[in-house]
Structure 1
Amino acid sequence: MEMAVTELKKNKALLCLECGKCTAVCPISAYDREFSPRRMLAEGIFYGGGDLISDKRLWSCLTCLLCSERCPVDVRYSEYMKGVREIAQKQGNWGEPSHGSALLHIMEMMTAPKLNQNRTGWINGNIKTAEKSDVLFFTGCLPYYEDFFAKDFDFHPISIAVDTVRILNHLKIKPAVLPNERCCGHDLYWLGKIDEFNKLRELNLKEFERSEAKTIVTACAECAYTLKELYVKKLGLNSIEVKHISELVAENIDRFKFKDQNLKITYQDPCRLGRHLNIYDSPRDAMKAVPGMDLNEMPHNKRGSICCGTTNWMNCGASSSRIQKARLTEAKNTGADTLVTACPKCQIHFRCSQCGKGKDKEKTDIKLKDFTNIIASAIDG
C-alpha cells in the first residue's frame, strides 16, 4: 500500500532498527503476544501494510508513547498508527468499539453545525460563572459521561466540572462556560477520522472566538493535549493559552489554604498529560502542598507510567482488563488509600475494571478520585 509507505516515511518508521524495544515495553504486547509494534512496522516496511490495514489489532494501540520513550531512533509510532487507521477506516475497516459505539456516535453527532445541546445544567448556585470572561472553562464531554456512567458507578463525572469551577472561583476567576461547545475531537483524531475532527475543531474555534477568552482551562488530560497541540500550536493561535487545571493550581499554590487531609495517595500519570505534554510536576506539586496528603509513587511513574489500558472507546478487551487490574494492584501495593487521576477517562476505565467479581477484586480495591475533587475538597474556606 503506497499510502502506508508514505506514513512510514513521514513518521521516521523507515529508521526502525528492529531492536524490539517498543514491543518489550508495550502494555498491550505484555498480554497479547500477537500484538507487536515492531511487527506492525515491519509489515509496513517490507510488505506495504496491506495486511495491517485489515488487522483488528491496528485499533488496539494505546498511542501512549511508551514505545517512543524507548525507541533509539525516534520513530513516531503513535502517529504512524493514526495515519494507517485513517487509511483503514476509509476502506471500511474498523475496530471493535466499546459501549455499543454510543460514545463515538455522540462525537460524530456533535459535528452537526446546527446542533443544540443542554450542556450547562450542572451549573448550580454554589459556583459562579460568567457569559464572557478572560478565562474559559472547557467542559469537554463530562456532561455526556455523567449521563452515561453515573448510574453504574459510585462516581459523578460532572463533579469534576463543578470542582474545577470551585477552584477557579477560589482564585477570584468567574470563568465563561460555553453552552454549545463540542467534543475536542481527541478520539476521532487518533482513530484517523480527520475530517470529523476538523469539523469539531472549526466549530469550537468559532465558539472560542465569540467568547473573547484569552485562557482556556480544562480538567481533562485529553482535552488539554488536543487544545494545546492540535488547535493552538498546530494552527499558530498565539492569542489563546491552554492550561490543564493542575498547571493553574500549581502556579497559584500560594493563594490556597488547605485543610489537613490525613490521606495516603498515589498518582496515575495520564498518557496525554504526561508523555504527550510533559506535565508531570504540576499535579504532584499541588497535591504535596496539601497538609497531611502523603504521595506514594508507583514503581511505574512519570515517563515510565503505564496507561489505563484502553483509549478512544475502542478495542477494550481482555488485554485492556489485565492492564487495568495490574495497574490497580500496583497502586494498592504502594500502601495508598486512594488512586488519584487527572483524566476522567482513566477513572472511568479503572472503575469499570473494579466492577468485576473475580479473585483479583481484593487486590484492585482502592478508592479512585480525580485531581480536581481532591484539591477542591481540601480548600479551607
Structure 2
Amino acid sequence: MAEIAELIQMTNTHFCLDCGVCTGSCPVARVFSDFSPRQIIEKCLYGIEDLSDENIWNCLTCAQCSVRCPANINFPEFIRLMRDEAYSKGYSGTLTHNGMLHTIWSLQTKGITQNRTFWIGDGKTSEKGDVFYFVGCRPYFDVIFRDINAGSIENCKNILKILNASGIEPVVSNDERCCGHDALWNGDEETFKKLAEINIEIIKASGAKKVVFNCPEGYLTFRDFYPRYFGDLGFEPVHIIDFLTEKIADGALELSEFPEVVTYHDPCRLGRLSGIFDPPRELIKSIPGIELREMPRSRENSVCCGTSGWINCSNCSKEIQVQRLSEASATGASTLVTACPKCQIHFRCAKSAFDLDIEIVDLYDLISEHLK
C-alpha cells in the first residue's frame, strides 16, 4: 500500500536486518505469540501488511525494541504513523473503559466549562506567573479509578505542596486540557492538535516561562511533539523530577526518615523515551533510612506496565502486570514506587484483581509524605 510504503521511507524501516531482536525483546510477544514487531515490519517491506491489522494496536509503543535495535529503527514512531493512516481509514484499537477516556478528551476540544481546580484548597497558586503547573488528567482519573484507589487527586495536592515548600506559587488553570498524548498515539492527530492549540494559548496567556509536569506522558508530548507541530513554544517544559533533585541537593527541601525497603519501576515515557533514569533513584535514596532494591529488569530494560493509550487492555496486559508485580515482590521490597499516574492505575488494577501483596506508591506522594 502506498501509505505504508511512504512510512517505511520516512522512518528508515527498510534498514531492518531481520534479526528478530525486536520480537525477542517485546513484552507483548512474550505473552501473545501472534504479535511480532519483526513480522509487522517484514509484512510492510513485502507490501502485504494491511491497515486493518489489529496488531497495529496491540503494540505498547514502549520502545523496548527500539533501544536494542541494531539498525536504530524507531518502531514506536513507525507504529504511531501507521495508526494515523489506519485511523483515517476508519480503523481503531479496542477502547478500554467503554471509551470513557476517549470521550473526555474529545469533549475537551470544545468550549466546555470544567471544574478541574476543585482540589486546590488552601494551596497557594497564582493567576499569572513564571511557573505553570500542568496538572494533566488527574482530576478525571480521580473519579474514574476511585474504586481501586488509583489516580487520586491527592497526588496533585502533593505536587502543589512540594512547589509551595520550594517558594513557588504556580499558575494552575481551570481551562487546561488533556495534553493530547493518547489521541496522538491512537492515530487521532486532529484531536491532538486541537487540544495542543488550546493548551499553548492558555499557557502563553499566563505569562509562564516554565511548565512543570509530573506526568511523563505530558512532559514527553510537550517536549517532543508540540514543537514538531507548532514550532517554538515560547516556554520550557520541565519535569518536576529535575526540579526536585536540584532543590533537595541544595538543601531547600529536607526529608524525614522512612526505614523501608522499596523497588522502583521505570515508566516507559520517563525512562526509555525521555532518558530519565538516575534522578528518580537519587530522589528515593535521598529519603533517610530507605533501601532501594532494583528489579532484574530495570532502567533501559524495564518492562512496560502492560497497556497504553486506553486501548487493547486484555488478558495479555494483565499477565504482563502480574509478572511485573511478582518481580517487584521477589526483591523483598514492601513497596513498588513508580513515577507515572497510568503505571500506578494499571498496577493497582492488577493488584486489586489478583489480591497481590505489595503496596504501589507514587514517587511524589512518597516525597511529599516525608517533607519536613
Contact 1:268 1:339 survives alignment (8 Å):
yes
| Distance apart, 1:237 and its partner CA | 2.4
Indicate whether 1:365 and 2:361 are aligned: no
Cα separation, 2, equivalents of 1:232 and 1:173: 26
- What one-letter code is carried by the residue in structure 1 that aligns with 2:325? L
Contact 2:151 2:344 survives alignment (8 Å):
no
Contact 2:204 2:234 survives alignment (8 Å):
no
Cα separation, 2, equivalents of 1:308 and 1:58: 18
Aligned-residue sequence identity (percent) comes to 39
Q: Deviation per CA, 1:322-369: give whole Å up to 9, x if none.
A: 000000001111111111111100000011111224xxx4xx421011
Q: 1:81 to 1:218 in 2, by over 3 A?
A: same
Match of 1:66 in 2: 64
Match of 2:210 in 1: 215
| Distance apart, 1:154 and its partner CA | 2.8
Indicate whether 1:135 and 2:131 are aligned: yes
- What one-letter code is carried by the residue in structure 2 that aligns with 1:93? Y
The alignment partner of 2:179 has SS state of coil
Cα separation, 1, equivalents of 2:351 and 2:47: 41
Q: 1:89 to 1:233 in 2, by over 3 A?
A: closer
Indicate whether 1:79 and 2:71 are aligned: no
Contact 1:138 1:218 survives alignment (8 Å):
yes
Q: 1:265 pairs with 258, 262, 266, which one? A: 262
| Distance apart, 1:163 and its partner CA | 0.4
Cα separation, 2, equivalents of 1:192 and 1:330: 33
Cα separation, 2, equivalents of 1:210 and 1:378: 35
Match of 2:253 in 1: 256
Indicate whether 1:95 and 2:93 are aligned: yes
Contact 1:5 1:49 survives alignment (8 Å):
no
| Distance apart, 1:234 and its partner CA | 5.7
Q: 2:283 pairs with 253, 272, 286, which one? A: 286
| Distance apart, 1:48 and its partner CA | 4.7
Match of 1:239 in 2: 234
- What one-letter code is carried by the residue in structure 2 that aligns with 1:201? A
Cα separation, 2, equivalents of 1:307 and 1:138: 24
- The answer for unaligned runs of 5 or more in structure 1 is none
Q: 1:317 pairs with 300, 314, 317, which one? A: 314
| Distance apart, 1:233 and its partner CA | 6.3
- What one-letter code is carried by the residue in structure 2 that aligns with 1:182? R
Q: Deviation per CA, 1:84-140: give whole Å up to 9, x if none.
A: 11111111112111100110111111111x111111101111x21111121110000
Q: CA RMSD in A?
A: 1.2
Q: Deviation per CA, 1:16-68: give whole Å up to 9, x if none.
A: 01100000010000000000000000111102532xx1121211101111000
| Distance apart, 1:155 and its partner CA | 3.9
The alignment partner of 1:70 has SS state of coil
Cα separation, 2, equivalents of 1:85 and 1:238: 26
Match of 1:378 in 2: 370
- Using structure 2 for the length normalisation, give the TM-score: 0.97
- What one-letter code is carried by the residue in structure 2 that aligns with 1:175? P
Indicate whether 1:206 and 2:201 are aligned: yes
Contact 1:160 1:219 survives alignment (8 Å):
no
Match of 1:341 in 2: 338
- The answer for unaligned runs of 5 or more in structure 2 is none
| Distance apart, 1:229 and its partner CA | 1.1
Q: How does 1:23-34 map to 2 (within 5 A)?
A: 23-34=23-34
Cα separation, 1, equivalents of 2:141 and 2:119: 12
The alignment partner of 1:266 has SS state of strand
The farther-off stretch of 32-41 and 257-266 is: 257-266
Match of 2:108 in 1: 110
Contact 1:232 1:240 survives alignment (8 Å):
no
Match of 2:15 in 1: 15
Contact 2:151 2:345 survives alignment (8 Å):
no
Q: How does 1:103-182 map to 2 (within 5 A)?
A: 103-112=101-110, 114-125=111-122, 127-150=123-146, 152-155=147-150, 157-182=152-177
Cα separation, 1, equivalents of 2:278 and 2:134: 22
The farther-off stretch of 71-80 and 348-357 is: 348-357
Q: Deviation per CA, 1:173-216: give whole Å up to 9, x if none.
A: 00110110100000111111111111111010000110110111
Contact 2:93 2:186 survives alignment (8 Å):
no
Contact 1:13 1:75 survives alignment (8 Å):
yes
Cα separation, 1, equivalents of 2:194 and 2:150: 31
In the TM superposition, structure 1's runs of 4+ consecutive aligned residues that sit over 3 Å from their partners are 232-236
Q: 2:220 pairs with 216, 219, 225, which one? A: 225
Aligned residues: 370
| Distance apart, 1:239 and its partner CA | 3.3
- Using structure 1 for the length normalisation, give the TM-score: 0.95
The alignment partner of 1:355 has SS state of helix
